[in-house]
Structure 1
Amino acid sequence: MDADEAQARGVYAPMPTLSYGPSGRVGVAPGDVRGTVLIPERCDGYCLGLDGRDGPNLACEGCGQAVATRVDDCTLWQVVWLDPRAVRPVSVEGPARRVVSWEALRKEHPGMPPVEQPGWWSPVWTAAVAVALAHLLAVSGGERVAVPYGPVAEAFRRAIDILLPPGPPAREVVLAGPGLSVTVTDIALVPRHPQTDEVWPTGARAAVPLAADVWTYMAFHDDRRLFPAASGMPEDVCRDDPPPLWPWSPFRPDWKVFLSTLARLPEVRQPWLRAVYDQVSERRYQHPFS
């Protein structure tokens, strides 16, 4: 595929593979799919499962038509991609889906902790931060960016130190969104609505979207280490029982998600950002991704 054809598909940098499948596919959890069977001759995969390399590998149990592609291979997210050429949405009786307001977002999506047992970084966090990191580099213009202390710094500062030029910060990124009374004039790190995909509106010069569950945790969770108290504590004081989980390694964004996101941003055609893309592509297992 030449550069013009790739650009027409929304890709602005070289990628090892590019799907020729139809646009508008819908990804669902494998457990939510009913009435399908595997197509045996299309069940190849790279390692120990299915990766969809041979096209749709799920057929309708009733008529035998290929309807979806199941992905379930080593290092890949488990998903079923419904083929828009074979399936269509059908209205069902029942209440309409309630869209959570921005004001209720914190209550109904309280945030996902970044660390899982036994000290692994959550893959949701490594993927979400990788997406936001690509957007952050794109809006930085190649200038050094300062980030606030706390979870934002833990997730982004190491990558910024490595991928952006050294020197004093010329730009600043600040958390902004529902429930925060802060004025941001430069770069705002804002939530992306988990239902509508809408990005929190901001008057900042640039906005960097972040998955709502990760943004909410960064904005409102207190990760400071706590000390034992000699006497009783008020009920509203943050307690350390059970103690919080701590990671066994520095935070590492997902390099695959980072490259895939960056390749789809027109800004990657700028020489400095293309150099970052090529550097990570060639040395993907080095810092900050390893």
Structure 2
Amino acid sequence: MIVFTCADCDASLTLPMSQVALPAHAHRKYGHELLPVLMEPGTYAVDPEPFGPPWRRWEEIGAKEAEARGVYAPVFALSYGPPGAVAVALGDVRGTVLIPERCDGLCCGLDSRNGLNMACAQCGHAVATLIDDCGHWQVVWLDPRAVRLPDTNAPARRVLSWEEVREQPERPPVDPIGAWSPVWEAAVSVALAHLLAASGGARVVVPDGPVAHAFRPALDALLPAEPPTRSLALVGPGLPATVTDIALVPRHPQTGETWSSSTEAAVPLDADVWTYMAFSRNRRLRPASGGLPDGVYRDDPPPPPPRSPFRLDREMFLDALARLPEVRQPWLRAVYDDVQDRRSNLPFWW
């Protein structure tokens, strides 16, 4: 475990923490309500991509420079901030103060429009950006140029085995009030981009159940209906060996590594979402008619049915697809352009 300290004066800025994988929804905006914290207490994650201002428009950059930065299709703008920003929970931050003149936001809190808005309380050096505005996951981003991460004597966090990961809590797709989980929408949207790239432009046959409810409508709309076809199946810890063309495999919540599969094409999906899909096939993702059989009773309310059809996050899908080299293939670039121009009649949040 490590404690982040100020690069100027060595003052401690966080509690001891252990590294986990960066959540897929780390930069996702959702609605206009206050969202929960991004990071679990005692954990941090590193974003390998540049983060924060300054921003440069695609017209200024050009395709060649963007490709050198790992972006292979046009986007509105790219961050030219430093890579390696560190996400931590608000409650794990210590020894910092807000910078009042940089505390702007949309309506309910602070966002990152003015860059670093937190300073070291000991020396005054700007060290982090607090984000807690509506529609944003609440998080503090430590600037990698302004902090150090010396070791502490605290014991290292043990990495869970894949069998233990399977035993971790699942991520239900619907919250207690019947709304789709924004974490599900983000995870499926990112996985869909990788799934399209793995398809090679061929129709993907999706097994019935939660995988079909999440992926099939978009795949049927974006890929041709005629043969050839490629098969998709869940592959991972606790499941029997399966012969398939494309494997939907879990992404380790701590290391970010994907389950090693012998399948030629593997598509990563966040482990808590994957676990639900793999082991909760008896739970419907669509409202069902009827009730329990006669003589069967329960003393807790059934899970609420979703209030609306499942929606994919258009911006997250496009962002993930733009960062895959496969998007340079003409057929996949045509899909990207079609969704970006909002011509596709797909179940996206527009």
TM-score (norm 2): 0.76
Q: Which amino acid aligns with 2:154?
A: G
1:138-217 to 2 correspondences below 5 Å: 138-168=197-227, 170-217=229-276
Q: Tell me if 1:132 matches 2:191.
A: yes
Q: Tell me if 1:75 matches 2:135.
A: yes
**Which residue is equivalent to 2:158?**
98
- Quick check: 98-107 or 191-200, which moved more? 98-107
Structure 1 SS opposite 2:162: coil
| Pair 1:58–1:96, CA change in 2 (3 A) | same
Q: Which amino acid aligns with 1:287?
A: L
Q: Tell me if 1:57 matches 2:117.
A: yes
Q: In the alignment, is the contact (CA less than 8 A) between 1:184 and 1:203 conserved in 2?
A: no
Q: Distance in 2 between matches of 1:284 and 1:214?
A: 29
Q: Tell me if 1:66 matches 2:126.
A: yes
- Quick check: 37-46 or 215-224, which moved more? 37-46
**Which residue is equivalent to 1:22?**
82
Question: Could you report, residue by residue, the CA deviation over 1:30-75 in whole angstroms, capped at 9, with x for unpaired residues?
Answer: 2322222222222333554433122212111221111112223343
Q: In the alignment, is the contact (CA less than 8 A) between 2:232 and 2:244 conserved in 1?
A: no
Higher percent of residues as strand: 2
**Which residue is equivalent to 1:228?**
292
Q: Distance in 2 between matches of 1:208 and 1:27?
A: 25
Q: Which amino acid aligns with 1:60?
A: C
**Which residue is equivalent to 1:256?**
315
Offset of residue 147 of structure 1: 0.8
Question: Could you report, residue by residue, the CA deviation over 1:113-165 in whole angstroms, capped at 9, with x for unpaired residues?
Answer: 00013211001100000110010011111111011111100100111122222
Q: Tell me if 1:218 matches 2:277.
A: yes
How many residues of Structure 1 are paired with residues of Structure 2 in the alignment? 284
Q: Distance in 2 between matches of 1:7 and 1:162?
A: 28
Q: Which amino acid aligns with 1:228?
A: L
- Quick check: 219-228 or 33-42, which moved more? 219-228
Q: Distance in 1 between matches of 2:109 and 2:227?
A: 48
Offset of residue 103 of structure 1: 1.5
**Which residue is equivalent to 1:2?**
62
Q: Distance in 2 between matches of 1:280 and 1:62?
A: 49
What's the C-alpha RMSD, in Å, of the aligned pairs? 2.1
Q: In the alignment, is the contact (CA less than 8 A) between 2:249 and 2:258 conserved in 1?
A: yes
Structure 2 SS opposite 1:142: coil
Q: Which amino acid aligns with 1:2?
A: G
Structure 2 SS opposite 1:257: helix
Q: Which amino acid aligns with 1:170?
A: T
Structure 2 SS opposite 1:115: coil
**Which residue is equivalent to 1:13?**
73
Q: Which amino acid aligns with 1:72?
A: D
Offset of residue 277 of structure 1: 1.4
**Which residue is equivalent to 2:333?**
274
**Which residue is equivalent to 2:4?**
none
Q: Tell me if 1:32 matches 2:92.
A: yes
Structure 2 SS opposite 1:202: coil
Offset of residue 110 of structure 1: 3.0
- Quick check: 279-288 or 8-17, which moved more? 279-288
Offset of residue 84 of structure 1: 0.8
Structure 1 SS opposite 2:340: helix
TM-score (norm 1): 0.90
**Which residue is equivalent to 1:236?**
none
Q: Distance in 1 between matches of 2:71 and 2:322?
A: 6
Q: Distance in 2 between matches of 1:118 and 1:180?
A: 31
| Pair 1:83–1:284, CA change in 2 (3 A) | farther
Q: Which amino acid aligns with 1:77?
A: W
Offset of residue 273 of structure 1: 1.2
Q: In the alignment, is the contact (CA less than 8 A) between 2:86 and 2:143 conserved in 1?
A: yes
